[in-house]
Copies of this chain bind each other. A is one copy, B any other.
Amino acid sequence: LDEAAMADARDLQSRLTKPPGALGVLEELSVRLAGLAGRCPPPSPEPAAVAVFAADHGVHAQGVSPWPQEVTAQMVANFLAGGAVVNAFAAQVGAEVTVVDVGVAAPLAPAPGLLPRKIAPGTADLTRGPAMAPEQARRAMETGIEVARELVAAGNRCLVTGDMGIANTTASAALIAAFTGLPPERVTGRGTGIDDAAHAHKIEVVRAALARHGLAPAESAVIGAGGGPAGESVTVAADPMRVLAAVGGLEHAALAGFILGGAAARVPVVLDGVIAGAAALVAAALCPDVLGACVAGHRSAEPGHAAALEHLRLRPLVDLELRLGEGTGALLALPLVQSAVRVLHEVATFDSAGVSDKNGGR
């Protein structure tokens, strides 16, 4: 982040016709985005594009979701037909929707708005072995970088993360446990809606996966799941790609790349829910500076999402108990991000508007 541009933004905010600090979190955000762009005011984050990365998950075989796996492909068709919530929310805020197939199990027919970038027809079952080969994780990540680059080259000035993949909250929980060191029961939620028994089962699946891959957090390590906590966190931090390949999804890998690509282009990346939060942990482990470009669009109802945001020290803009994914929470936050920047472009200063300053000065 460019310190000079941030200082300029702070100075400008103090001269605008409003009490200093009165825009709260949005004022800090505008300063950060000036730092990201390296100038004040930063470019308006419009137009915006949401990329919905779709993939399937081998862990679906463990019964972690009540939804059949075919729903991933069916929802992709729904996105392309404009019938999903992500389409409605994108239309509301004027964002473009692109769907990227990085790993849907079913073959998908070519369609406008669909980028065919399938790395594999879904991941392997992470409870039985690595979800991805290292090469698959790397290629999926490169795909995400490339999609970010293409969307920026097409003129977009804000990227929004989206995702679709039945069972992807399970992989997210495993990633979040591994990167935050929190126990599975703290980061595993009910996803699209499961009962207590199914939830308990899902937690055990995550726990088994972590143990299988030597990623068990400190709390589990005590009961014999592997090395000590210090050793674990060194491993995780030292080789985030191994963790990603072991328990992540193809869309997590692509989203991590999308975040890296957006940050490299100095374009804000508005993060959606728990899947994006897990991917941001991967991206930040590879390159902590990417967080300067990350805007937490919302906090979802998934406990792992709150844990990821806390770990990343990102404050969500919207907090309405959403748990849908697709990019919907991030799209709700988009006008807030755009409004924060618009202030720096359009609001008059005390001097220019002839408004008396606090304590009667000019």
Listed in ascending order, the chain A residues whose CB lies under 8 Å from chain B are 16-26, 66-68, 70-71, 74-75, 77-78, 81-85, 87-89, 91-93, 192-193, 301, 317-324, 328, 331-332, 335-336, 338-339, 342-343, 345-348, 352-356, 358-360
Tell me the bound Cα distance from A89 to B22 in angstroms.
Answer: 14
Tell me the bound Cα distance from A355 to B313 in angstroms.
Answer: 37
Known contacts A74-B353, A78-B348; A88 and B20 CB within 8 A of each other: no
Tell me the bound Cα distance from A88 to B344 in angstroms.
Answer: 9
Contact of A335 (CB < 8 Å), options: B87, B192, B335: B335
CB <8 Å contact, A68 and B360? yes
Q: Residue of B at shortest CB range from A321?
A: B24
CB <8 Å contact, A75 and B20? no
Query: Which residues on the B side are within 8 Å of A26 (C-beta)?
Result: 320, 322
Closest 6 CB pairs of A and B: A83-B348, A24-B321, A19-B192, A22-B324, A25-B320, A74-B355
CB <8 Å contact, B23 and A339? no
CB <8 Å contact, A348 and B16? no
Seed contacts A23-B85, A81-B348, A91-B346; 15 additional CB < 8 Å A-B pairs: A17-B78, A17-B84, A22-B192, A22-B322, A22-B324, A67-B356, A78-B348, A82-B346, A83-B348, A85-B347, A88-B345, A88-B347, A92-B342, A192-B358, A320-B336
Contact of A324 (CB < 8 Å), options: B18, B88, B93, B335: B18
Tell me the bound Cα distance from A346 to B324 in angstroms.
Answer: 16
Query: Which residues on the B side are within 8 Å of A324 (C-beta)?
Result: 18-19, 22-23
Known contacts A91-B346, A343-B88; A320 and B24 CB within 8 A of each other: yes
Give, as a whole number of angstroms, the nearest-CB distance from A287 to chain B. 28
Tell me the bound Cα distance from A25 to B324 in angstroms.
Answer: 12
Tell me the bound Cα distance from A19 to B339 in angstroms.
Answer: 30
**Best-buried of A74, A81, A347 by chain B (most CB within 10 Å):** A347
CB <8 Å contact, B339 and A92? yes
CB <8 Å contact, B88 and A346? yes
Tell me the bound Cα distance from A75 to B348 in angstroms.
Answer: 11
Tell me the bound Cα distance from A323 to B354 in angstroms.
Answer: 22
CB <8 Å contact, B68 and A356? yes
Give, as a whole number of angstroms, the nearest-CB distance from A162 to chain B. 14
Tell me the bound Cα distance from A193 to B319 in angstroms.
Answer: 26
Known contacts A78-B355, A322-B24, A358-B192; A342 and B89 CB within 8 A of each other: yes
CB <8 Å contact, A93 and B335? yes
